[in-house]
Amino acid sequence: MAPTRKSKPQQPSPPSRTLVLDNGAYTIKAGYVTDDTVDDPRIIPNSIARDRNKKVYVASDLDRCTDFSEVAFRRPVEKGFIVNWEAEKEIWEHEFFDDNASQPCDPSETRLLLAEPSNSLPILQTNCDQMVFEEFGFASYYRAIGPSLNSYHDVQGILRTPRDPGTIAQLPAEILLLIDTGYSHTTITPIIQGRPVHPAIRRLDVGGKLLTNYLTRLLSLRHYDMRNETNIVNEMKETACYVSLDFKGDLERTWKGTRGERREVYLSGGGVAKDYVLPDFHTRTKGIVREFDPVQAARARKLAAGRAGESSEDVLTLRNERFVVPELLFHPSDIGIHQPGIADLVMQSLRVLPVGLWPGLLANIIVVGGNSLFDGFVERLQKEIVQLVPDECFVRVARPVDPITSTWLGGANLAKHEHINALSVTKQEYEEFGAAWVARKFSAGLES
Give tens-digit pLDDT for 183-209: 999 999 999 999 999 999 999 999 999
CA pair distance 18, 107, nearest whole angstrom: 10
Q: What single-letter DSSP state applies at residue 375?
A: B
- Residue 1 has a pLDDT of 47
Bridge partners (DSSP) of residue 291 are 274
Per the document, the length of the chain is 448
Tens digit of pLDDT for each residue in 264-315? Answer: 877 777 788 898 988 887 888 888 898 887 777 666 666 655 554 555 678 8
Judge whether residue 8 has pLDDT over 60.
no
Our measurement of the distance from residue 336's CA atom to the centroid of its chain's CA atoms, rounded to an integer in Å, reads 23
Q: Tell me the longest C-alpha to C-alpha distance in the chain.
A: 107
Rg of the chain over Cα atoms, rounded to whole angstroms, equals 25
Is 12 within 8 Å of 429 (Cβ atoms)? no
Instruction: List the single range of 65-69, 214-218, 436-440 with lowest mean pLDDT.
Output: 65-69
In sequence order, the 6+-apart residues with CB closer than 8 A to the CB of 138 are: 107, 108, 110, 111, 112, 132, 427
> Residue 281: left if φ>0, alpha if ψ -120 to 50, beta else—which one?
left
Residue 446 carries which side chain, given as an amino acid letter? L
String of DSSP letters for 421-444: HHH-EEHHHHHHH-HHHHHHHHHH
Strand pairing report for 37-38 and 27-34 = antiparallel
Tens digit of pLDDT for each residue in 92-106? Answer: 999 999 988 889 999
CA pair distance 244, 320, nearest whole angstrom: 10
- Residue 104 has a pLDDT of 92
Q: What percent of the chain has pLDDT over 90?
A: 65
Strand pairing report for 56-58 and 48-50 = antiparallel
